[in-house]
Every structure is written in C-alpha cells, then in structure tokens.
Structure 1
Amino acid sequence: MRPLRASPSLLQPDGRKLYQQAAAAIAAAIQRGDYRPGQRIPSERDLAEEHKVSRPTIREALIALEVTGLVRSRHGSGIFVVDNPSSDALSLSLDIGAFELTEARRLFEGETAALAALSITEADLVRLEELISDMERENQQQVGGERADREFHLVIARATANSAIVGVIESLWDARYSSPLCAEMLERARKVGVQPRIDEHLVIIQALRNRDPAAARTAMRDHLARVIDGLLEATEIDTMERTRAELEEKRSALARRVSV
C-alpha cells in the first residue's frame, strides 16, 4: 500500500495534527451555524474535497467530533449535529488517531525489523514462533490478540539491542491505549472482527530467520500497511452495520403497521 497522501490541504499549519485541524474547521462551521442542530453534515468525500485532505483524515476528524459529543452517527444515515452542540466540545485532548499512529509504526518498525535481521538470535526466533501460537489462540478466543501481538513487535525491537529503539516502539504501542481517539477507532475495528493476521507475521519471521534486512523491512511495512487497510475497512463496515440496523428497524416497523 502506498502511504496515505492527499492533495495540498487548505488547512494552514498551526502545530496541530491534520485531523485536529479538520475537526476544528468542521466544529467552527457548526458554531457559525453553517450546519444547524439536527442537520446532517456533508459526506466524508465532500468534506475531504472541501478541505483538500485525505478521507482517512476526515474520518479521524469525524470520529473525534463524535467522541467529544459535537456530532453523532444516526444508524447509517450519516453524521448529524447534536441538538445542543457545546461551544467547547474540542477542549478534550484526543491526542493521536489510529491512522496516524499506524503510519508512524510503519516507518519506525520497518527500520527496526531491518536492523533486527542483523542481530536477532535463535532464542528470539523461537520466542516469535511461540507468540504466533499465542496470537492464534487469542484470535480463536476473540480476545483481541493485543498481548501477543504487542509482545511480538517488542521482541523484534529488543533484538536490535538498542534501548532507544525499544523505548520508541513501546511508546507507539502504549499510545494505542492512552489516546481516547485511537482507543475508540481500535475498538470499532475489534467489534467487526479485525484481528492480527498470522500469515503476515510468519512472513516477518521468515525474513528475520534469513537474516535479510531488506526483506524484513518490506515484510513489516507491508504488514502495517494492511493494518491501515483493515482500519479503513472496519470504520466503513461500522457505517454499513448501522445502515443494516436502520433497515431492519424500518422493516420491523413496516411489519407492525401492515399487521394492524
């Protein structure tokens, strides 16, 4: 997968993350009255075109606005302004989003895997294979796979014998839990069945076993690119599920009416 890129943004650099700028611009439009309470705001595609940013950026912005209570999803019908929008809805610090975090992981963990390929031990490789079994078990039990998946990536980081690299990888994983926005997006992914992909982790192990830095880098970057794809699909599926729920509700209401 190519890195997520967008055409030049109309948002002006101000030290905030791009999704935060997009969220602030949409919030400002709501507060100006461009979108009234109860009104549906434009689609992801339209907002992305308006602000000249990627759809993932807009998706993170909309989820951020939903988490802070300024907008809400309505059973697949779209995103609507809440009835009494707060003027300080974005005062909550949402920190980092899952797309942004995973792109950072793709960059740093790709290079980490390349370096680890030069120094990884047989004991490390055995431990990675054990963690594959743990991931398979966690996937079967539908418990999220977080513990084994996290440890898998940290074993690779430790194999570099560089404590600074280990600290960076640990901090990137810890951000998954400390950021409300990231946690919300990952929870949505888990709810629709997104799990660690065993085959991709096996490709990483093989590249490390071959002591091939280029292959290890590629395997790790490809794996994390597919994680981004999974997040995109999960948030789209989340919308589709709300649409299905709305249709089922309408069918049930119609059935009750015709039975009278």
Structure 2
Amino acid sequence: MSPTAIFEPVGHESLAQAVVAQIEDLIASGVLKQGRKLPSERDLAEMLRVSRPKLREALSVLEERGLVTTQHGEGTFVAALTGQAMMPALLALYERHEPAFFDYLEYRREQEGFAARLAARRATKADQERIAEILVENERAWRENDTKASQEADFALHSAIVDASQNATLIHIMASIYELTRKGVFYNRDFLKTIDGTGKQLLDQHMELGQAVIDGDEQRAEKAATDHIDFVEESFRLGIERNRREAIAEKRRLLSDYKMS
C-alpha cells in the first residue's frame, strides 16, 4: 500500500499541531512502529499538504517528545518506544539457560492466544486481505522449499494477526518480542523443522490460524494460536532430549574406543 493513503491532508488551523496530532495518532495506534522510517520531508509535506517549514516545526515537536529521531543523511524514524525487551548480556545468558526459552514460549502462548481471539473479533476487511495474502506466501514458500521466505512469512503472519487485534499496547510490545525472534534469539526455525520433518505441520498450523481469524471464529483462532505454541514447545523438548541421548551415546562410543586402544 502506498504511504500516500496513510497520511491525510490537514486543514489550515494550527498546521504544525495538526501534523503532530496525526503522526502521534498513527504511532499510538501501532500503524507506525518503532524503527519505521517516515517518508522524505518533501514527500511527507506533499502528502499532508503543508509547507516544509511547518512540517519541520511538527517534526521538531515530535522529536522533543521522544517520538521520532532524525538521523543525518538517513531521514526521520519512529523512536524506540518500548526500548530493548532485554539487554544483550541478558539475551546471551538466556541463550545459555534452557528454562528461559520455555518461559518465552509460555509468555507467547498467552499473548498470541489473546491476540488471535481479538483479531478474529476485530479484523477489518483490509486486515483479512493482508492475512490471506500472507497465507498464500506461506504456502508458496513451503511448496518451493524456500527457507528464508518461509521464515519471513511466519513472522509476517504472527505480526499481521497482532496488528488485527487493534490493541495498541499489544502491537508495540509484541513487535519488540518478535524482533528477538527475528534475530534468532530463543527460536531456531531450522531446528524446529528437523522435528516436523517437512515443515508441513507448521504450514498447516499457520493456515488454520490465519483462516480462523479471517472467518471471525474467536474460539477457533485462540485454540489454533495456543496449539501452535504447544507444538513448538513439545518439538523443542523432544529435540533437546534427542540431542542429549545422542551426546551420551557418543561419549559411550568414545569411551569404548579408548578402552580398546
């Protein structure tokens, strides 16, 4: 969708404040998320139908309020509003601390079930069309065994469902959580696929989740979301146990070879 459709022309009264109010509303509602780059000054002024001096005045107010940041030569971005969910040192610790991963899944299970239920109730036609398009991409990526595209479609589906919940707090917080997932913290999709085999179970789960939201079936959508996270949790538990058995078997083999030498 073109950014032109996102921003609306403003009237002549208090032009700078009208611009501030419109961008604040887009941020508060989760349309503009942290890290999102705004259109260029020229394009944004044209979309809002205000002069560039008035636009600069508005952006200055937004920057003073900590809502946007301007990077020289790069442009203006929505500021980091939720901050880092975790600092690098804690992330590194969590990667070495197995129980933390299951705490993460427990949190996601509850939040995504809640988000799916709200999305099924509140999704607009535009939300439903977006989810339907992502489902098509999920299926295409699986059919072509495109690992990178499958991962991106996975993230896109979960994000689209959270967006369709129309709950701004949930949208901003889960965007931060998904960023951890995107960076590979806690969640290794390739490892999960070794448990699934072909990735078909993951595809089926995503298709069911997205379709339930599109159909407006709240209970089915919530169940699909929580069933998906339960599958992820059980798969990782099985995988960890498998790796533990293989490590022990390898030690036995090494010890046997040592005794025979």
| TM-score, scaled to structure 1 | 0.51
CA contact (8 A) 2:195 2:235 kept: no
Mapping 1:1-260, distance limit 5 Å: 94-95=93-94, 97-139=100-142, 140-143=145-148, 145-176=150-181, 182=186, 186=188, 189-190=191-192, 192=194, 195=199, 197-243=202-248, 245=250
Which residue identity does 1:235 align to in structure 2?
I
The two structures, once aligned, show a CA RMSD in angstroms of: 3.5
CA contact (8 A) 2:141 2:149 kept: yes
Distance of aligned partners of 1:176 and 1:166 in 2 relative to their CA distance in 1, 3 Å threshold: same
Q: Percent identity?
A: 24
In the alignment, the residues of structure 2 paired with residue 204 and residue 175 of structure 1 have an alpha-carbon distance, to the nearest angstrom, of 22
Distance of aligned partners of 1:100 and 1:92 in 2 relative to their CA distance in 1, 3 Å threshold: closer
Which residue identity does 1:112 align to in structure 2?
A
Unaligned runs of 5+ in 1: 1-89
Unaligned runs of 5+ in 2: 1-88
In the alignment, the residues of structure 1 paired with residue 189 and residue 214 of structure 2 have an alpha-carbon distance, to the nearest angstrom, of 33
Which residue identity does 1:238 align to in structure 2?
N
CA contact (8 A) 2:155 2:182 kept: no
Q: Alignment partner of 1:226: what SS?
A: helix
In the alignment, the residues of structure 1 paired with residue 164 and residue 252 of structure 2 have an alpha-carbon distance, to the nearest angstrom, of 51
Offset at residue 121 of structure 1 (A)? 2.6
Offset at residue 247 of structure 1 (A)? 6.7
CA contact (8 A) 1:101 1:172 kept: no
Query: How many aligned residue pairs are there?
Result: 163
Bigger relative contact order (CA 8 A; separation at least 6): 1
CA contact (8 A) 2:209 2:225 kept: yes
Which residue identity does 2:128 align to in structure 1?
L
CA contact (8 A) 1:116 1:157 kept: yes
In the alignment, the residues of structure 2 paired with residue 92 and residue 135 of structure 1 have an alpha-carbon distance, to the nearest angstrom, of 29
Distance of aligned partners of 1:100 and 1:126 in 2 relative to their CA distance in 1, 3 Å threshold: same
In the alignment, the residues of structure 2 paired with residue 95 and residue 177 of structure 1 have an alpha-carbon distance, to the nearest angstrom, of 16
CA contact (8 A) 1:114 1:214 kept: yes
CA contact (8 A) 2:114 2:222 kept: yes
In the alignment, the residues of structure 1 paired with residue 128 and residue 194 of structure 2 have an alpha-carbon distance, to the nearest angstrom, of 31
Which residue identity does 1:148 align to in structure 2?
A
Instruction: State the Cα deviation string for residues 71-93 of structure 1 (Å, max 9, x = none).
Output: xxxxxxxxxxxxxxxxxxx9996
Computing the radius of gyration over CA atoms, which structure comes out larger, 1 or 2? 2
Distance of aligned partners of 1:141 and 1:193 in 2 relative to their CA distance in 1, 3 Å threshold: farther
CA contact (8 A) 1:207 1:213 kept: yes
Instruction: State the Cα deviation string for residues 185-239 of structure 1 (Å, max 9, x = none).
Output: x378358355571111222123212212222112211111111111111212222
Which residue identity does 1:172 align to in structure 2?
I
Offset at residue 165 of structure 1 (A)? 1.2
Offset at residue 172 of structure 1 (A)? 1.9
Instruction: State the Cα deviation string for residues 107-166 of structure 1 (Å, max 9, x = none).
Output: 011111111112213333333233234334544234483321111011011112222111
Offset at residue 179 of structure 1 (A)? 8.3
